[in-house]
Amino acid sequence: MSRDISKGKPKRPAKESAPGWLDRLKLVWLRMQRNGAGVGSATESATPRNTQTDQSEAVLLRAALKGVLDQHASSRSVLVHLTVLEKALGRHGLSALDELPHDVLRRAMSQLETLVSDWSPGNLAALRARLTASLIKRGRANDRRRTSERLADFQDSRQLQVKDVSVSTFMEANARWQHSLTGQKL
């Protein structure tokens, strides 16, 4: 810790970096900015990802999303994930659905389902279908990970497995745990 010369008290250390999801969101945003500016890597395919039909569909989907967000005055400041999706669709077209992180798309889908009660406008239904397809495609890719990798990753509380056991099973497990710590016989 450094000292504040004027008061003689130690300074508090600077706050840790932003939460992990915010860092990932910033990295995705920067990557999308870089790719949009034509500074992509040489390994990327030379064919453009956005065809004319994809661009026109992205414009229609973005317009539908914009209409939903415009209905509520402060929705863009509250529904951040939908706002990120709207901007990404405007800048990168349908390829934004492939480039945005899975968590951002999942939360955007959740926010959209919360906000929209009438899916009859065709473009809202198409946006929902595109988001669902992208989430399913990524979900299958994530399911390909081995079970041991999924169980060893404890960053998400949803992966914790809890089940009820009898008292005798608990007492036996507790005794084994104490034995592993202290080395005492069972």
The tally of domains found in the chain comes to: 1
Residue 75 lies in a domain: yes
Distance, first Cα to last Cα, the chain:
47
Q: pLDDT, tens digit, for every residue of 31-74?
A: 877 776 544 444 444 445 546 777 888 888 999 989 888 888 78
Give the separation between CA 63 and CA 169, rounded to whole angstroms.
59
| Listed range (91-95, 102-106, 125-129, 155-159) with the worst mean pLDDT | 155-159
Residue 24 has pLDDT above 70, yes or no: yes
Report yes or no on 25 lying in a domain: yes
User: Helix, strand, or coil here: 51?
Assistant: coil
Residue 7 lies in a domain: no
Other C-beta atoms within 10 Å of 40: how many? 12
Is residue 149 in some structural domain?
no
Residue 178 lies in a domain: no
pLDDT value at 81 more than 70: yes
Could you tell me if 93 and 32 are in contact, meaning their C-beta atoms sit under 8 angstroms apart? no
Domain that holds residue 77: 20-35+50-142
The predicted structure's pLDDT at residue 132: 92
In this prediction, residue 84 has a pLDDT band, given cuts at 50, 70 and 90, of very high
CA–CA gap between residue 101 and residue 57 (Å, rounded): 21
Per-residue confidence band for 8, with pLDDT thresholds at 50, 70 and 90: low
For residue 132, is it within any domain? yes
153-163 average pLDDT score:
62
Asked if the structure places residue 3 within a domain, the reply is no
Side-chain half-sphere of 110: how many Cα atoms within 13 Å? 9
On whether residue 28 sits in a domain, the answer given is: yes
119-153 pLDDT, tens digit per residue, is 777 788 899 999 999 999 887 666 555 455 555 55
